[in-house]
Amino acid sequence: MTEIIDGKALAQKMQAQLAEKVARMQEKYNLVPGLAVILVGDNPASQVYVHNKERAAKKAGFKSETVRLSDAISEEELIDVIESYNQDPSIHGILVQLPLPAHINDKKIILAIDPHKDVDGFHPMNTGHLWSGRSVMVPCTPAGIMEMLSAYQVDLEGKHAVIIGRSNIVGKPMAQLLLEKNATVTLTHSRTKHLSEVARCADVLIVAIGQGHFVTEDFVKEGAVVIDVGMNRDENGKLIGDVNFDQVAKKASLITPVPGGVGPMTITMLLEQTYQAALRSVTR
Ligand code: GUN
């Protein structure tokens, strides 16, 4: 029997719990967690993501500021905007939506964010913490996947996890989080030889390659857990994952849909980490 992971329901439950924690924080410390989201340019997908983040933050009782900047902005001007939020005590989390326009060096931008406010967990100080096993700020998508696996009681101890995609946002941090749970991890990518064969060894298969319906049934072992991070549009503009859901669902024991799987959990973890950063600002 295949079970479909309901990321939307889990995210709603966690966000409702978070709203209660935010209310208690306000009572106890007279503090409201503040999130600043910076969007450069008019990438349609990024606009949707940013809108969803803003809406969820407000609903959970956060202070939410979204800055929409022209893609003609210079690197220095963008760094000035970040610096003003670094100095703003009412803001505990800063997120610069990626991708950035080609003339802006994203590594330089990430370095400009105060690591204590880096709720994306992209700053090298936070990636260093993650890889040394004392994570503070963790990239939100892998963090959300770990929450989902835990909520569905997926035992990772000694299991073989295969990740397809080696991005800094998903694949690489995902590998470390799975290692922390004693999984054996294979990190694959577009140039991996015999990829479908490697993927077929997976007890847990995480797919973040950015190509619609890339993973077909021959990538999947009977009974595997399949997590689809993909967000692609098909030729009719319909949102589809990296996994061919109809084929793979027949083999998987547990699978995420797109939409309604990983996406809502990413936003939840962003809010959770902003809340935790706010809490640290008064308890540290
Ligand atoms: N673009 C796609 N995913 C993400 C994310 O998790 N954080 C940011 N900042 N940009 C993204």
Q: Is 244 in the pocket of ligand 1 (CB under 6 A)?
A: no
**Element (H or E) spanning 8, and its range?**
helix 7-29
196-251 per-position pLDDT tens digit? 999 999 999 999 999 999 999 999 999 999 999 999 999 999 999 999 999 999 99
Longest dimension (CA), the chain: 56
pLDDT of 89 reads: 98
Residue 177 has pLDDT above 90, yes or no: yes
Atom 1 of ligand 1, nearest CA residue:
98
- Rounded Cα distance between 38 and 120, Å, is 12
Atom 8 of ligand 1, nearest CA residue:
97
Q: Give the residue, out of 43, 98, 270, with the most ligand 1 atoms within 8 A of its beta carbon, to mutate for a pocket test.
A: 98
Residue among 284, 192, 271, 213 nearest 32 (CA) = 271
Phi/psi-derived region of residue 205, left when phi > 0, alpha when psi is between -120 and 50, beta in every other case: beta
Residue 258 has pLDDT above 90, yes or no: yes
